Amino acid sequence: MRSSRTRSIAIGALGTALVATATAFLKIPIPTGYGYIHLGDGLIYGIAASFGPALATVSGGLGSGIADLLAGYPVWVPWSIVIKGLTGYLVGTLVIKRKLHRAPAMVAGALVTIAGYSLGAFVLYGPTAVPAEFLFDLIQTGSGVVVGLGISRLLELVARTLFEDQQ
């Protein structure tokens, strides 16, 4: 791929597919019925820390929205697109543009996810759903940060290889 634009589109599409797959198919449903534990958040954090905010916004938002459709949670699609897109943007901006260490940047992204899905649970299911959603999201995003920290170094090497001719 010679064109930087073509390369970015291809990486964004691959990231979207990976996030959707890791979220929809590599999951453990939770008993409340509101969601599931998955590897998608870790991929969003890793993509953000390695490829930056633009690719993470697209991969995180679209990948998570597609995953909700595939996994049978269509009511969450618009919420996931916005929440996970913002999460990817924030983590990517903090790591790539602001030079913040990965761990606090990913925790900041996790807080956006927790706040967003807690608001979504409140709007969709009422105030009684918020505590369960909040607890679930703490577990989900915590595991996502661990996965994200684990894979971000590998993804950074991939990013350097793919974009080395631009440096």
Q: What is the CA radius of gyration of the chain?
A: 15
Residue 81 has pLDDT above 90, yes or no: yes
DSSP for 110-149, written as a single string: HHHHHHHHHHHHHHHH-GGGHHHHHHHHHHHHHHHHHHHH
Helix (H, G, I), strand (E, B) or coil at 38: strand
HSE on the CB side for 7, CA within 13 Å?
14
* Pick from 108, 5, 99: nearest CA to 52: 99
The domain spanning residue 127 has which CATH number? 1.10.1760.20
pTM of the complete model beyond 0.85: yes
Of the listed ranges 3-12, 61-70, 71-80, 158-167, the least confidently predicted one is 158-167
Tokens of 147: 């996965």
User: Is residue 158 very low, low, confident or very high in pLDDT (cuts 50, 70, 90)?
Assistant: confident
User: Is residue 33 very low, low, confident or very high in pLDDT (cuts 50, 70, 90)?
Assistant: low
Q: What is the per-residue pLDDT for 159?
A: 82
The more confidently predicted of residues 22 and 158 is 22
The predicted-structure confidence for 105-150, as pLDDT tens digits, reads as follows 999 999 999 999 999 999 999 999 999 999 999 999 999 999 999 9
Residue 24 has pLDDT above 80, yes or no: yes
* Total domains in the fold of the chain: 1
Please, which residues bridge with residue 36 across strands? 29
The predicted-structure confidence for 47-75, as pLDDT tens digits, reads as follows 999 999 999 999 999 999 999 999 899 99
Domain extent for 98: 4-166
Residue 113, number of CB atoms within 10 A of its CB: 25
Q: What is the per-residue pLDDT for 35?
A: 65
Residue 3 has pLDDT above 80, yes or no: no
Element (H, E) at 29: strand 27-29
Residue 76 has pLDDT above 90, yes or no: yes
Contacts of 31 (CB under 8 A, 6+ apart): none
